[in-house]
A and B are shown apart, each in its own frame.
Chain A
Amino acid sequence: MEASARADIERLEDIEEIDTIIAELEISKDKGNLILCVVNSPAYRERVIQSLRNRFASKVIPVETGEQIIQTLKNREFEGAEILIWVMPEEPTENLLNTLNNFRELFYESKIPNLIFYNQAFSESVIQKAPDFWRYRGNYYELKETGAGMAFEMLEALAMPFSYQDKEDLLRRKRINEYLLERIRDKEEKAEILSELGMISYYLGELDKALEYHEKALELNEGLGRKAGMASIYGNIGNVYQAKGELDRALDYYEKALELNEGLGRKAGMASTYGNIGNVYQAKGELDKALEYLEKALKLNEGLGRKAGMASTFGNIGVVYGIKGELDRALEYFEKALELHKELDSKDSMASNYGNIGNVYRIKGELEKALEYYGKALELDKELGHKDGMATTFGNIGVVYGIKGELDRALEYYEKALELNKEVGTKVGMANQLGNIGIVYKNKGELEKALDYFERTLQLFKEIGARIEIARTLMNIGDVFLLKADKAGALKYYEKAQNLAVGSSVLADINKRLIALKRGQAAKNEQ
């Protein structure tokens, strides 16, 4: 066998060994146990320990003397830990070997699983000079890692909460998690891996795949009775449905998540769910309800000092104020959000905030400033491989060019955005771009084409149930009818739109049109 192939198998064995350690610790919870683990590289050992700490409430004890072991075990100084992780020094001392050999029972009497890490030389000394301790082991493992490579990365995936730097990072974690999924048998770990794969798929815009992973993770968590895990996955599924534009379905899942989080007293989970529910209401056009939930989320996040949560809630509140037409207030929230996201180096959120600020400047008519912010957003989205983010920004840039009268350029951006939205499968994005293209055709005077696009837009927004966007599209259709000199048709659409646009900035636009139309009619009647 070639050396590299052998090394791969050894790495694979390591992951299986760690998975077995996890299974062993899990089933010996609240019982004394003594598991020995040989690891030579301190850095690798730290990774292994980190992955275990991620899973179990652990007390890690760097061992110096035998007396320290005796005191800790006899006095039960465990600080609420589920497992004790002992890290032996590089060199075994006579004192330590004697202690291990002569006080081996204490590890069992502790009624807590003990995992002891030491290196190969220490292990050999134990076998020769502390044979009673060696014989008393519950089990032992020898990890083979030499310090780098895939095993290291896989351990990182097991050890670290999900986060990523860029698209490459996302794809790397996807690869690792797919590999881990085949190797890991522990159901709890498997649920975590599936959930992470679900999130990765979500960020990569593979929404159906994301749903598939989350559903599997949910099933495992249900089987294990892990309510906290179930709550997170309900939230994640809600996110996927929201991205797909299925808002009522998203809301159902968020409510399930909220119920579980409330029951468990998980304030951080509650905060995230309130935020998500707020966002759905925003998308549905129920802006006051959206603000109500977002304020609840903000309050909890502030109470918990969760800067990331505060930042995204600031951003979302800004979006609601933007829709309500309170642009300065929106800008104020977006800037608060941006400041925190920069502090947290959260690139994806920075990108969406740049986009939001760009939108405000666009609406305020400061088009160059808007383009500048969209450019910043696009740069980050490309770096992260965020197709949905890129699609949104392309759309926004298209809008600016549309306003500037550069209609072909606008169309070009909208087409790019539509293509990406189709690829990702985001209905809201698709509907927005279809609407934008309709506007360009309307402005170009190609009214039938415009109507066709608006009808498709309307259809999608109806499927989504986005009240305000339906209103906006109806208004756009009304505009086409007006251009076609069909004032009665226009009036019909404006009036339909008016009822739906209540509480949003669109209402003012519709009212302006209705007033103008009615004034025109009145003037005509007077003549």
Chain B
Amino acid sequence: MPRATNLIEAYNNFVVEPLKSPEEFEDFYVERPRGAPSPIEELKDRIENAKGPKKYLFLGFRGCGKSTELNRLSSLIDTNRFIIISYSIREELDVGDFDFRDFFVSMALKIYDAAEREEIELQPDVQADFREFMMRITKVTEEDVTKSREAGIAFSKFFHFKLGREAKTRELIRKELETRISDLIQKLNWLLVEVETKTTKRVVVIVDDLDKLARGEQAENFFYKNFSLLTQPDCFVIYTFPIPLTFNPYYENVRHAFDSDIILPHFPVRTKEGQLNEANFAFYREIVAKRMNLSLIEDGALKEAICCTGKISEFMSAMRDGAIKAYRNEKERITEEEVEKTLEKLRRTYDRTLTEAHKTRLLDIYEKKEARDTDSSDSTTRELLFSLTAVEYGDEEGRWCDINPLLLPLVEKWKQAHELT
């Protein structure tokens, strides 16, 4: 994708999707700044040098670039030595109705699928055993499987479809695996042994979007009640992990069951004391420079957009909105007028969605540069972090929190309202 030379191309280049293809990485990827480097290179080294299969938790707030970094990991790992099975749970499962049993069925199917893709001839008994097991727990007949094969639907695709789309199938699976989840994990591990032996490569499974299980008890059930199961597959697994769960004291117990928890932090454009962090600022500037000619935006407008958003996804949206506004205004470049309008609209929207309790907590976070809920029944801070109205940063000064920089102009208004009440 060529660098934009006009505002229409710029609009189309600022898309809030993770980078995927080698071309996208080549054209658009920007190295994270020195003060907040990507942990992916280190993770790659750890995997490539590990003696046994390891399990990792990968943490990061929404919009900090997790999916892009995981996609990069897939491309960095030596494929002569490793088979990468990378997927999002949202591709095949119903995230609204999600259970650890569905997850392991899906993981087993992904490994089976990888074996087919790599054209590995599985031991007939291992293959037959797995297929029979899948048919049994889903009450699917041999005839059904044959029909779907004749319709050009692969075995794993057929079962994934049923798992993702049919509540009844999920109900059956959960009932069948109620007391037999270890059977499934055993079969999954047999498949892994087959794949690894026959290819002399080791399997790395990367599971994206598990961090999206952040609502209700869903995530806690999955990660806290069943965490020991997550360590049982005999391969490398990288689990994306919902950051709001780290606010639960139980996290400390769980974390140690995994080989490492890797954090991809948001990095601030300003320091805790409010000084401009030149290196971090330069990172955002470079994102723009890769996607469009810098002559398409006024320096002041660019600085405003970077300093008031300071998160990749929000920054990209602001640039996109600024580009379309400038285009409509028949300007040759994005000016402060467009950026200010874009930011004001977003600011107004966030302000309206916040409750008084949220605003009080945001003021507290702003003052203390720390974000914690008062007790386990309090979820205000988690909600703020979840909606990105509060942000946790990691930089040379360590971990600290602040309100979304977009909301800074509202602080005085909130303070006055707060004092009045």
Contact = CB atoms under 8 A, between A and B. Distances in A.
B353 interface: yes
B140 interface: no
Contact of A31 (B12, B16, B329, B387): B12
A269 to B, nearest CB: 30
Contacts of B352: 120, 124
A101 B95 CA distance: 9
B328 A135 contact: no
B12 A132 contact: no
Contacts of A123: 349
Q: Is the interface of B mostly helix, strand, loop or mixed?
A: helix
A86 to B, nearest CB: 19
B327 A127 contact: no
Contacts of A132: 62, 212
A512 to B, nearest CB: 67
Nearest to A141: B345
A139 B317 contact: yes
A94 B95 CA distance: 12
Contacts of A136: 16-17, 313
Contacts, number: 83
B153 interface: no
A80 to B, nearest CB: 23
Interface stretch (B46-54, B173-181, B266-274, B318-326): B318-326
Nearest to A20: B328
Nearest to A187: B330
B392 to A, nearest CB: 15
Interface stretch (A22-30, A317-325, A402-410): A22-30
A54 interface: no
A105 B12 contact: no
B8 A131 contact: no
Interface string B320-350: 1100110111100000000000000100111
A503 to B, nearest CB: 55
Contacts of B16: 135-138
A102 B387 contact: no
Interface in A105-124: 105, 108, 120, 123-124
Interface residues of B, number: 35
Contact of B353 (A23, A127, A135): A127
Contacts of B345: 140, 142
Interface string A119-163: 010011001110110011111101000000000000000000000
B62 A27 contact: no
A98 B95 contact: yes
Given A27-B11, A127-B387, A132-B212, A19 B320 contact: no
A103 B328 contact: no
A102 B350 CA distance: 22
A95 interface: yes
Contact of A135 (B12, B313, B330, B349): B313
Nearest to B96: A98
Given A108-B15, A108-B17, A135-B16, A186 B328 contact: yes
B321 A139 contact: yes
B215 interface: yes
Contact of B8 (A27, A95, A105, A129): A27
Nearest to B212: A132
A131 B321 CA distance: 18
Given A105-B17, A108-B15, A185 B330 contact: yes
B327 A27 contact: yes
Contacts of B137: none
B327 A131 contact: no
A98 B212 CA distance: 10
Contacts of B330: 185
Interface string B85-119: 00000100011100000000000000000000000
A343 B54 CA distance: 80
Contacts of A27: 8, 11-12, 324, 327
Interface in B114-162: none
Interface string B30-49: 00000000000000000000
Contacts of B289: none
Contacts of B383: 128
Contact of A142 (B321, B325, B329, B349): B349
Contacts of B90: 102-103, 105
B258 to A, nearest CB: 24
A138 B15 contact: yes
Nearest to A27: B8
Interface in B195-253: 212, 215
A138 B320 contact: yes
Given A27-B12, A28-B12, A95-B96, A102 B212 contact: yes
Contacts of B353: 124, 127-128
Contacts of A127: 349-350, 353, 387
B274 to A, nearest CB: 26
Contact of A129 (B215, B320, B329): B215
Nearest to A35: B324
A186 B325 CA distance: 11
A20 B324 contact: yes
B317 A137 contact: yes
A66 B8 CA distance: 32
Contacts of A95: 96
Nearest to A135: B313
B388 interface: yes
A362 B317 CA distance: 72
B394 interface: no
A29 B284 CA distance: 28
Given A131-B62, A185-B330, A139 B386 contact: no
A140 B346 CA distance: 9
B212 A139 contact: no
Residue picked from A66, A105, A127, A185, most chain B C-beta under 10 Å: A127
Residue picked from A31, A98, A99, A132, most chain B C-beta under 10 Å: A132
Interface in B292-322: 313-314, 317, 320-321
Residue picked from B15, B215, B325, B348, most chain A C-beta under 10 Å: B15
The 9 closest A-B pairs by CB, nearest first: A98-B96, A102-B95, A124-B353, A185-B328, A23-B328, A27-B8, A102-B90, A20-B328, A127-B353
Given A102-B96, A132-B212, A142-B349, 18 more contacts: A16-B328, A19-B328, A20-B328, A23-B324, A23-B327, A24-B324, A28-B12, A101-B95, A105-B17, A108-B15, A127-B387, A128-B353, A131-B62, A135-B63, A136-B17, A137-B16, A140-B349, A185-B328
5 contacts: A23-B327, A27-B12, A98-B95, A135-B313, A138-B15
